[in-house]
Structure 1
Amino acid sequence: MNLSFFDQFMSPVYLGIPLIGLSLLLPWLLFPAPSSRWLNNRLLTLQTWFVGRFTSQMFTPINVGGHNWALVLASLMIFLISLNMLGLLPYTFTPTTQLSMNMGLAVPLWLATVLIGLRNQPTAALGHLLPEGTPVPLIPVLIIIETISLFIRPLALGVRLTANLTAGHLLMQLIATAAFVLLPLMPTVAILTAIILFLLTILEVAVAMIQAYVFVLLISLYLQENV
């Protein structure tokens, strides 16, 4: 029984064709293309406003040198939101529940921020490993601790996104199974369970968007330290 709960984290295949390829095509229908008219439609205007507000809020505390990352982080935000929201649809697969994919996104972006800091301001980048005013006997210990915390950052990025989405999907699967099992036995309890499942689904929609925002926000904070 437990194995069936985790089957939702496996890429579904129909007639030998991975359905993840078809599901990844769905967001393209949601992203309107710019038109040649003077005034855009409502959907394109809303999308432009959202990306503009997100970019301005994200890059306000970052120096001008880090504004070159605006397109990368805005695209990553839309990409993660699309994948997280796709996983809430029936008979779909959530790629961001796989730690390997999340680490593949987190490690290169984190490493790029570190390399930018070492190239542009090596003294300040290395200075983060030792807080100012540290007693001399504690210097080796603090350098080791700060170095470990630096290398844990990409792992924390990937594990946070994976754990939040996996826990939410498992909880939805458990409550949905309980609702179906209780329906012929205790209809009233099954209806209450279905109401809880509906509220949890709304919460998971919020979690899908918030976790994508947190992932990009932490990368922008790492970038802020190194530009």
Structure 2
Amino acid sequence: MTLSLFDQFMSPTLMGIPLLALALMLPWIIYFNPDSRWALNRLTTLQALFIKWFTKEIFQPMNLGGHKWAALLTSLVLFLMTLNMLGLLPYTFTPTTQLSMNLAFAFPLWLSTVLIGMRNQPNKSLAHLLPEGTPILLIPILIMIETISLLIQPVALAVRLTANLTAGHLLIQLISTAAFVLLPLMPAVALLTSILLLLLTLLEMAVAMIQAYVFVLLLSLYLQDNV
């Protein structure tokens, strides 16, 4: 029986218990805890350098009020990047291909940035809903359009992450199936397909890291507009 291509995105279960919680705990097991020693090993040093570079890139153009989010957003990018990369291993599951989970990440953080803007600078936050110099007749329509565009931001964050990872995994599945079918029929074509599959896997690794970075980068931009 031929299974659906989308079966790979179903949450695995063990004795009826979803293993999604176990997959979400893996990043905390993999990464090293901070150490008070002066001389660290190579992996810990690389981890510290990445965190330092990411924090500098994200928070350098931001006001001081947004620097309180440094630990949260840095942890989030490491968390998403790890989940995306682990999903490329055989016999694993990618939790970030689930739209519901990505919405659970995006909506509370986006709502926090909006509430911070409403509390600290309500006039500036509400001014985004109506551009300056708008004709009187267009005011209700523009307010409605800007409100919808504001409310759709967390949905766009979640859908972007889900769609990019889902499309890449589906393409890898299709090409790997084609290489397996062509192997006994046309070995030369199967070899070329396998090379294409290897290149696509490398591209998908880059996409997994980039999408985690873009997710957090857009959140930092929303935060920058409200602090």
Q: Same fold (TM over 0.5)?
A: yes
Work out whether residues 19 and 92 of structure 1, in 8 Å CA contact, stay in contact via their aligned partners in 2. no
- In structure 2, the CA distance between the partners of 1:166 and 1:84, relative to structure 1 (3 Å rule), is same
After TM superposition, the structure 1 = structure 2 runs for residues 95-110 of structure 1, keeping only pairs within 5 Å, are: 95-110=95-110
Greater Cα offset, 182-191 or 2-11 = 2-11
2:33 corresponds in structure 1 to 33
2:183 corresponds in structure 1 to 183
Do structure 1's residue 54 and structure 2's residue 21 form an aligned pair? no
Alpha-carbon distance in structure 1 between the residues aligned to 2:203 and 2:138: 45
Alpha-carbon distance in structure 1 between the residues aligned to 2:117 and 2:48: 31
- In structure 2, the CA distance between the partners of 1:20 and 1:145, relative to structure 1 (3 Å rule), is closer
What's the offset of the Cα at 1:15?
5.7
Work out whether residues 23 and 86 of structure 1, in 8 Å CA contact, stay in contact via their aligned partners in 2. no
> 4+ residue runs of structure 1 moved beyond 3 angstroms?
13-30
What's the offset of the Cα at 1:14?
4.9
Alpha-carbon distance in structure 2 between the residues aligned to 1:11 and 1:44: 32
After TM superposition, the structure 1 = structure 2 runs for residues 63-82 of structure 1, keeping only pairs within 5 Å, are: 63-82=63-82
What's the offset of the Cα at 1:80?
0.2
**2:6 aligned partner, one-letter code:** F
What's the offset of the Cα at 1:22?
5.1
Work out whether residues 24 and 95 of structure 2, in 8 Å CA contact, stay in contact via their aligned partners in 1. no
Alpha-carbon distance in structure 1 between the residues aligned to 2:144 and 2:105: 26
1:44 corresponds in structure 2 to 44
Greater Cα offset, 20-29 or 86-95 = 20-29
What's the offset of the Cα at 1:18?
4.9
**1:33 aligned partner, one-letter code:** N
Alpha-carbon distance in structure 1 between the residues aligned to 2:9 and 2:166: 8
**2:46 aligned partner, one-letter code:** L
Alpha-carbon distance in structure 1 between the residues aligned to 2:188 and 2:201: 20
Greater Cα offset, 212-221 or 138-147 = 138-147
Work out whether residues 20 and 92 of structure 1, in 8 Å CA contact, stay in contact via their aligned partners in 2. no
What's the offset of the Cα at 1:13?
3.5
**1:126 aligned partner, one-letter code:** L
What's the offset of the Cα at 1:136?
2.1
Work out whether residues 11 and 19 of structure 1, in 8 Å CA contact, stay in contact via their aligned partners in 2. yes
Alpha-carbon distance in structure 1 between the residues aligned to 2:135 and 2:75: 44
2:128 corresponds in structure 1 to 128
Alpha-carbon distance in structure 2 between the residues aligned to 1:29 and 1:108: 25
What's the offset of the Cα at 1:30?
3.4
Work out whether residues 34 and 40 of structure 1, in 8 Å CA contact, stay in contact via their aligned partners in 2. no
After TM superposition, the structure 1 = structure 2 runs for residues 1-227 of structure 1, keeping only pairs within 5 Å, are: 3-14=3-14, 18-20=18-20, 23-24=23-24, 26-227=26-227
**TM, length-normalised to structure 2:** 0.94
Alpha-carbon distance in structure 2 between the residues aligned to 1:163 and 1:2: 24
- In structure 2, the CA distance between the partners of 1:175 and 1:103, relative to structure 1 (3 Å rule), is same
The percentage of aligned residue pairs carrying the same residue is 71
**2:198 aligned partner, one-letter code:** F
SS at match of 1:226: coil
TM-superposition CA deviations, 1:122-170 (whole Å, max 9, x none): 0000000011122222211111110010001011001000000000000
Aligned-residue Cα RMSD (Å) equals 1.7
